[in-house]
Structure 1
Amino acid sequence: MTDDRRAPSSPGPADEPTQPISRALIDALDHQTGAQPDSRDLSVWTTAQVSPATQRKGKYTPESTAHPAKMLPDIARHAIEHYTRPGELVLDPMCGIGTTLVEAVHLGRRAVGVEYEPHWVAVSRSNLELAREQGIDHDAHVIQGDARQLVTLLPQEYVGQAALVVTSPPYGPSTHGRVAVAPSEGIQKYWHRYGSALDRGNLANIGHHRLLAGFTRILAGLRTFLRPGGHVVITIRPWREHSELIDLPAQILACGRAAGLTPTERNVALLARAAETDLVARGSFFQRDFIRKQREAGLPLHLIAHEDVVVFRTAMVHTFAQASRVRSPASRSALPMQHTDLKGEQATGESRAA
């Protein structure tokens, strides 16, 4: 899966590449909220029916392929179509090559992203410029900086404006990367790490527990820019570390709660094509090589076929204390953020596209 989002250092549990799966099973999962088969309220997102390269064709510059862990465009596109309407603002605090932003502007939304590494800032801006050259007259911007400093990074014009955040945390320094074969040198990996391993400002290089603390801080900062009832969509998956399964989705749920967000959904975004009776995995060279070696060692791992999609929502009403945070940088860092729900108010999906 060279083209999917931030791959873990080793695969977590998933389905066999061609293990039979009943269409009825997928439909049953889709219907858990009472949705009809053709409805968009689905818990299983069929986001890999065409290859990642096909999804990106014509919308991304050649330089984009080098990023070590790109979000699958159809995942971002599904979330944007499902939770926003045209003209609304979409935000990605860790935007990489700008996948969330590119898909947003092609759907008629406004977009803003933050990216830590200057190289990928340039690439994401190039992708937005490509959209403009193709006739997409968009309102989209990329800001370079540390997403843990969102409240001081983003202009005040975005306060309380975002209808949706789509993002994914890095899973550590080991990612898919690219492959080259050189005579007498064998197979070589490149573009398989986030920046310099010595850069402790990069969340991918600071260890698992500090990553969670940093991501919680990012989620808390997002509340300043989300409108009441806005959604946060996070793509994540478990991974194995020294043969121990790390349940990152459950940990991200805890991070969201700690940041003052309310979990509302936990979905599945397929990274494999859903055929009539099978899931056909799109495994990268590194995944297939890793799986082969693990099976030879007696550990029955399988190619990854999906990512978890955790969805949070902000409260329906912001308190005065929330608004007062934006008066100045000093007040933004000093005042606590508070949200208050309307009594008896429930998440009803008002912001979802019709």
Structure 2
Amino acid sequence: DPLDHVARVLETSFEGHDKAAGSSSSGSGSCSSGSGRASPGSGHNDHRASSRTTTRAVSSSEKVGKGIVSLVTLLRNLLRDGSAKSVKLGQKVADVLLDLVSNLLRYKSFRGQGGVPRLRELVAEPLKDLCRTVKAPNTKIGKAIVQLFILVHGSATAVCLDHIRLLSGAIRSALAAEEEFSQNPDDESLVLIAESQGGGGGAKNKKGMAEATSEVLISALDAGMRNVDYVIRALTKMRKPPKVTNEKSIDGGSAVSPVMTLSTVTSGRLLVIMRAFLPLVDGEWGPRRAATDQIVGVLQRIYTAIGRLVKVYLAHGFTSVNRNLDRLLAYCASDMNSKTYELITRIENAATGQKSGE
């Protein structure tokens, strides 16, 4: 397949550079070029070969970026055409793009020679233009575009979200008597609970473990929110796609707006962050009191992000809220977690104080 061949040629360039870097650092006296050929040498010849490798890597990242831009432009033109043949080829282009970018990000030589920021610089605008000007003809292409958007813009991948889930679960599993801890948040009560259960210092150990884990979780949540914030900022700048006469896709399903799909994915990521955040406000057993301001900061960003997502929905005239966003709004409306509402009140009071100059 020609598209697969193009992608493979682009990838091979960085595979070669990674191998070259490995052979140079091991002192083997050989250096692999982008084509995979070995060139003998020693001493300063190795240094010159390494310099050539670096130069080629920079040059290759430029070529790869331009090649990806060409594929994004091709995808946009195919989706604009909208014929069955174009949609079929568009699906192939979207898949190749996604595989190519995913694989490139694995190569040290690509990342080390400024490939990631250069990729973002070259591809970000064409991708935004694609999302603004065309409607994905089916869900599969829509999801591929969204995943590509997230990869190019450096947002958290599923691995990051899995990490956040694990941290959240670690806090819960660190607390065997979670409800009792919540009802007795002070240290003396925790000791009494431990003694009554015959656990000796077990409760303190669990509390210490929860504290340490929750502080790591706060850091992970902060990184996750930076990624979500970035995508939402991009979403707010996307214009509403033009109306089309036929809202059905070529394969009989519903046509999908990339903005809608991206909003759904982003709200899903935000939902994971919200669920992971809840253990931190179940009681004072979590982080040390000095970390309370950090918790308030993360919570404020979560609620701000939810509000901005709702505005995106309103601006684009979407008639229904996706299930992820619906669950997020339910969390906001629920009074089942009083600690969350205490923190919300604190945020509101702080905002009022700033406005009044206090």
Which TM-score applies when normalising by structure 1?
0.23
Q: Which has the larger radius of gyration?
A: 2
Structure with more of its chain in helix, by fraction? 2
Greater relative CO, 1 or 2 (CA 8 Å, sep 6+): 1
Q: Which TM-score applies when normalising by structure 2?
A: 0.23
**Greater percentage in strand:** 1
